[in-house]
Amino acid sequence: MKHVVIVGADRGIAASLVQEYLARGERVTAVCRDAGEAWQDESNVRVVPSTDVTDDSAVARMTDEIGDDPIDLLIHVAGVGSRERWQEFDFETMLAHYNLNALGPLRVISALSDQFVEGAKIGIVTSRMGSIGDNGTGGMYSYRMSKAAANMLGVNLYHEFRPRGIHVMLLHPGTVATQMTRGARNWDAMTKPAEAAAGLARQMDGLGPDSPPRFRHQDGTSLPW
Ligand SMILES: NC(=O)c1ccc[n+]([C@@H]2O[C@H](COP(=O)([O-])OP(=O)(O)OC[C@H]3O[C@@H](n4cnc5c(N)ncnc54)[C@H](OP(=O)(O)O)[C@@H]3O)[C@@H](O)[C@H]2O)c1
């Protein structure tokens, strides 16, 4: 039984990842910003509540709660979207997005660094919106910019952890029907969180010692940086 840590596990894609790894028979630590009530009755889930990944002291508390429990796999999912219009920028909010989408995974993964076993796998859910090569429409300034920074973080982590035999992958879940996308056109037709989670877990399955740094869609497509 592997120890899997899912960060941002209150709802959405992260909650489905908790379900996916439970169904696979793994032991899951669900790091939640809220109380993690959804997981209270699951015997194979340890909830680490009240973990806002933008808050240094909350992340330090999370590290204490996980203690010296070795980690085989971690997926950082917590994130926030944005839709600014040109020249209608709220820079404080944009900084908060950067703090969550780019610095959140750095804060969490750096704090847990000593717990990753040799052969451990780390996934960061960024977004295709953070791809420079795939940006065909513009817009979504702080979302695109902070997710591009998260992709850069992932490649840095790849180099950082490679000597320890720890593998890192950047992940795009597809366009998924969650709270983040609610209200968008065709919401009902979007990929369901459980399907996205199964695909993301499959990408993590394929991650190994010989993998170069990759940015993968949950359907297996390689995305441009
Ligand atoms: N949905 C899509 O189509 C799509 C596409 C590309 C990428 N993504 C990425 O996938 C990830 C998950 O998105 P989702 O669609 O599942 O969205 P969601 O339903 O809005 O879920 C976001 C999750 O992040 C948590 N979170 C937000 N701010 C946090 C913070 N400061 N500290 C800790 N946790 C925090 C939320 O917790 P609370 O419940 O406490 O708010 C929630 O559990 C995001 O990184 C997003 O950018 C989504």
* 7 contacts 28 by C-beta, under 8 angstroms: no
Give the Å distance between the CA of 163 and the centre of ligand 1: 31
Q: What is the pLDDT of residue 209?
A: 81
Q: What's the whole-number mean pLDDT along residues 134-160?
A: 97
Q: Per-residue b/e over 40-56, b at no fewer than 16 CB within 10 Å? A: eeeeebbbbbbbbbbbe
Predicted local distance difference test score (pLDDT) of residue 215: 97
Instruction: Kindly report the protein residue whose alpha carbon is nearest to atom 26 of ligand 1.
Output: 78
**pLDDT confidence tier of residue 152, bands split at 50, 70 and 90:** very high
Tell whether the model's pLDDT for residue 210 goes beyond 80. Answer: no
Residue type, position 223, single letter: L
Q: What is the pLDDT of residue 83?
A: 87
30 phi/psi in degrees, rounded to 5: -100, 105
Residue 48: what residue type?
V
Q: At residue 212, does pLDDT exceed 90?
A: no
The chain-wide mean pLDDT, for the chain, equals 97
Is 49 in contact with 107 (CB distance < 8 Å)? no
Pocket of ligand 1 (CB under 6 A): 8, 10-14, 33-34, 52-54, 77-81, 100, 125, 127, 172-173, 175-176, 178-181
Q: Residue 143's pLDDT band (boundaries 50, 70, 90)?
A: very high
Average pLDDT over residues 20-26: 98
Q: Whose CA is nearest to atom 33 of ligand 1?
A: 52
Whole-number Å distance, alpha carbon 10 to ligand 1 midpoint, is 9
- What does the pLDDT average to over 51-57? 98
**pLDDT score of 173:** 98
Q: Angle at the Cα of 16 (from 13 to 19), degrees rounded to 5? A: 160
Measured from the Cβ of residue 11, the count of other Cβ atoms closer than 10 Å reads: 16
The residue nearest atom 44 of ligand 1, judged by CA position, is 79
Q: In terms of pLDDT, which residue wins out, 224 or 212?
A: 224
Specify the pLDDT at position 49. Answer: 98
pLDDT at 136 over 90: yes
CATH topology of domain 3-217: Rossmann fold (3.40.50)
**Which is more confidently placed, 33 or 210?**
33
What span, in angstroms and rounded, lies between the C-alpha atoms of 172 and 144? 13
d(CA 151, CA 223): 11
What is the distance between the alpha carbons of residues 89 and 66, in angstroms, rounded to a whole number? 38
Assess whether pLDDT exceeds 90 at residue 36. yes
The residue-averaged pLDDT of 87-91 equals 95
| pLDDT beyond 80 at 130 | yes
- State the pLDDT at residue 211: 78
Rounded to whole angstroms, what are the CA distances from 177 to 36, 84, 191, 217? 21, 21, 6, 16
